[in-house]
Amino acid sequence: MTQASRIRVGVVQMTSTDDLSANLACAEQGVREAAQRGARLIALPEMFPYLRREGAAFPCAQPIEGEILGRFRSLASTLQAWILAGSIAEAIPGEARVYNTSVLISPRGAIEAAYRKLHLFDIDLASQGGGTYTESASVCAGAELVVAPTPFGGVGLSICYDLRFPELYRTLSARGARFLSVPSAFTPETGTAHWEVLLRARAIENQAFVIAAAQCGRHSGTRSSYGHSLIVDPWGTVLAELADRPEVAVADCDLAAQDRIRVNLPALRHRRL
């Protein structure tokens, strides 16, 4: 596979709700806008098709071969772009819970990789003025790490709360990831305090581009997200950042510059542990 020297990346920021049709229309519009602005790898946020109050069921859960991703597989083929379908609720046969699954779709419309979220968001933010979250009540944890090969290098897949576990990203980097994808629905409390610093740290530690498409705004009467989608380069420089409303950002990722960073500051080769 011949590797490109530069690629334009796009992130689509959304405020998904329990209106599946409206969410999918918004996601498609965002992907089309990013493609029109030259993006060849376009990322959507966590649970972009459907998001409502914490702990609620997912009536739109379906297999990754289902209609939801089918729509974006067709779109990828039409636009000749890679689409990182942030995450969906993947139905599990014989199980009431779902997987929180991120899927990478090629410009051929093929599913190139699927990653099921490893770390589930079971926390209590009451002392920080937030709520209590028990993702494991409706979601099953995955078990495998995923790095997808592409013409512009390996893409390591992760989702939201995974961001707090640096060993995951070290392993993805060791397996060839040049890009790290972090589709998210960060809470306002944790986002304000930790979002940017963690994303930039993961980029710097692994000398990788970090692509973090986020949910933003209020999804229901009891749930909201921080927004501030980011694209970060391997030096930790923020190439693009959104605010707290639905919109699209693009940025050029220079792989030759990444190579120079990895040669001149060979921290990945200096690892002892």
Location of structure tokens 């993006």: 39
Task: Take residue 160 and report the two structure tokens written for it.
Answer: 């939201």
Location of structure tokens 């030259």: 38
Task: Take residue 237 and report the two structure tokens written for it.
Answer: 């420089």
Q: How crowded is residue 264: how many other Cβ atoms within 10 Å of its Cβ?
A: 7
Which residue type is seen at 236?
G
Whether the Cβ atoms of residue 186 and residue 214 lie closer than 8 Å to each other: yes
* Alpha carbon distance 159, 17 (integer Å): 19
* Alpha carbon distance 4, 172 (integer Å): 20
**Active-site residue among 26, 60, 160, 216?**
160
46 is an active site residue: yes
54 is an active site residue: no
Phi, psi of 219 (to 5 degrees): -95, -30
**Active-site residue among 117, 135, 216, 253?**
117
Q: 212 by DSSP, 3-state: which?
A: strand
**Active-site residue among 26, 46, 54, 60?**
46
Q: Which helix (H) or strand (E) holds 35?
A: helix 20-36
Whether the Cβ atoms of residue 13 and residue 185 lie closer than 8 Å to each other: no
Task: Take residue 216 and report the two structure tokens written for it.
Answer: 């933003």
Location of structure tokens 């990788």: 208
* Alpha carbon distance 115, 118 (integer Å): 9
Phi, psi of 246 (to 5 degrees): -65, 125
117 is an active site residue: yes
Catalytic residues, which ones?
Answer: 46, 117, 160
